[in-house]
Amino acid sequence: MHIIHTVSDMRAFCAQSRSGMAAPSIGLVPTMGALHDGHASLVRAARADNDIVVASVFVNPLQFTDLGDCDDYRNYPRDLDADAEFLRGLGVDAVFSPSVEEMYPGFNTAPDRHPQIWVRTGRMGEILEGASRPGHFDGVATVVTKLFQIIQPDRAYFGRKDAQQLAIIQALVRDLDMPVAIHGLPIVRGDDGVAESSRNLRLSVDERRHATALSQTLFGLRDGKFASADEAAEHLASCEGVELDYLRIVDPADLRDVPAGTRQALALTAAWVGPVRLIDNLALEAHE
C-alpha cells in the first residue's frame, strides 16, 4: 500500500495505475481519519467495485468554524499510522494524506488564510447543519471537488449518516457534470444503536449512553411512537445529557421539509452530547 502526501505524487500514482491495465477503474473513499467500522463498509464496497482503491485521510479546515481556528478542529482525532494499518488490512492500494499547505498553498501564511475560489452550495448548504455551521458545506464541496480533480475517480463512496453531505455531493456531481458515480452506503451502528462516527471517540461512558437517545427517538418516530416530528423533537430535547439542535423530516434529494404522509422521507437530527455534536438520520416509509 502506498502512502502519498503530495498532489503530484497522487496524480502520478493514478496515471501509472491506469496505464498498467485496460480500462481500469478507481474508487475513492474520502475520510478525515479516525477510521471505524462505517469507513470499513465504504472501503469494502469500493474494493468490490473497482480495480484500484484510494482512501484519502485529510482533516479539512475549510469545513470547520473559523476555517479550523476552533476547538472542534484542534481536537479532531488524528492518528495516521493507525488509519494506515486499518486501511492496509482492507486492501486499499493507496492512501492520500496531504498536509493543509499541500491542499491549500499559503493557507497558514497568506493574510486571508484560505483559497480564493470556493464551491458554494447555496440553499442546500445553508439549512439544517449549515444553519448551525455556516460555511461548513462550502468547505466540504471545495475539498471534494479538489479530491475529484486530483484523483479523477470513477466512483466515490460516502456514508448515509451524513445525509445532507451526501445530498449536496450528489447535486455537486450532477450540476457540474463531474464523471463520478456517487455511492451512498448504509449507516453502521454500534450494538447500542449509536451511529458510528469518528467523534464518538470523544464521548465518555455516560455520554455514550446518553447518545443512544438520538437513534432511539428516530426509530420511535419511524415506528409510530410519536405523532409528528415536533413531538419526537420535544421528547429528544428532554432526554438526559442531550442538547437538541434540530429534528426535521425532509425529502432526501433536496432536503426540503415534506408534508404529512410523504413516503421515502428522511428524519434528520443533530444534538450536542457533552462536548460532541452528533448527527443521525433514518429513512421513513411515511410519517403522520
pLDDT 10s digits, 98-125: 999 999 998 876 656 678 899 999 999 9
- Is 196 assigned a ligand-binding role in the annotation? yes
* Contact present, 150 and 39 (Cβ < 8 Å): no
Tell the residue number behind the cell numbers 466512483, with chain if given. 155
To the question of whether residue 124 is assigned a binding role by annotation, the answer is: no
| Cβ atoms of residues 287 and 267 within 8 Å | yes
What is the distance between the alpha carbons of residues 200 and 174, in angstroms, rounded to a whole number?
A: 32
Phi, psi of 258 (to 5 degrees): -115, 150
pLDDT at 111: 57
**pLDDT string in tens for the chain (288-residue length):** 999 999 999 999 999 999 977 779 999 999 999 999 999 999 999 999 999 999 999 999 999 988 878 888 988 989 999 999 999 999 999 999 999 999 999 887 665 667 889 999 999 999 999 999 999 999 999 999 999 999 999 999 999 999 999 999 999 999 999 999 999 999 999 999 999 999 999 999 999 999 999 999 999 999 999 989 999 999 999 999 999 999 999 999 999 998 756 778 999 999 999 999 999 999 997 544
CA distances to 75, 90, 138, 196, 220 from 129, in Å: 20, 31, 12, 18, 22
Model pLDDT, residue 179: 98
- Determine if residue 39 is labeled as part of a ligand binding site: yes
CB atoms within 10 A of CB 123: 10
Does the annotation list 33 as a binding residue?
Answer: yes
Q: Is 10 annotated as a binding residue?
A: no
What residues are labeled active site? 39
Residue 51 CA to residue 49 CA, distance in Å, equals 7
276 within 8 A of 269, measured Cβ to Cβ: no
* 25 is an annotated ligand-binding site residue: no
Which domains can be identified in the chain, with CATH numbers?
Answer: 2-185 (3.40.50.620), 198-281 (3.30.1300.10)
